[in-house]
A and B are shown apart, each in its own frame.
Chain A
């Protein structure tokens, strides 16, 4: 069952990821990316991480991609801004480099042995995947980075307001 689910959603994720790159129209690329994100969220559920799967769908596929679609519709990419590839050979070189990297990366991944990886002693006796455990370590060990993200988001908000503000005509 688990194996079937893994292969099904891995195939969907890969196919929609390829569609993101292959599609000429940006809108369809964004829709394909939403499909990819949702199928990866199912893989998170298989890996016993329900909280991350939930925020993947709610925040990532729900909020961030809606912002993308909003901007895509605002800028009207269907008509003027679709760019014809003048340098076609660049695409072939890119695909070639990708295949080359995969062939070099595969033996590295294959030789990895999980039993030799040292474990963080903080989490040895906890069961992973419980939201309570996640929240506790987020507010104890990772409190400072968590607070830093609020500063980061504040900076981003100010930056976006400054960037998107219409310039006063001179």
Chain B
């Protein structure tokens, strides 16, 4: 197994997440796609860390996971607030700021 295989897998996972983020209308589904993209980037970090014999990649993945946890918590709180005030989960309905 060389590095290219892992990079291609990471690229495919990332593109699936990115396309899902564009296509999906539901806010929670969009969050799940963001998690998918973060996960794909983590995979390429770990692959580089392993093939270069450097520990930096694993530490950066550690920080990415912290940020993902924070992002999930805040994002879901916003989703709950939106659902409570507007009774919707569609990203298209949250358009107050749209001119």
- List residues of A whose CB falls within 8 A of some B CB: 2-3, 6, 10, 13-14, 17-18, 20-21, 26, 29-30, 33, 36-37, 40, 43-44, 46-49, 51-52, 55-56, 59-60, 63-64, 67-68, 71-72, 74-75, 77, 80-83, 85, 90-91, 94-95, 97-98, 101-102, 105-106, 109-110, 112, 114, 117, 119-120, 123, 126-129, 133-134, 137-138, 142, 145, 149, 152-153, 156-157, 159-160, 163-164, 166
Contacts and interface: CB of A to CB of B under 8 A. Distances in A.
A18 to B, nearest CB: 6
B49 A128 contact: yes
B89 A52 contact: no
| Centre residue among B15, B31, B68, B88 by max chain A CB count within 10 A | B15
A109 B54 contact: no
Interface residues of B, number: 69
Q: Could you tell me the dominant secondary structure of chain B's interface residues?
A: helix
Contacts of A47: 6, 46-47, 49-50
Contacts, number: 214
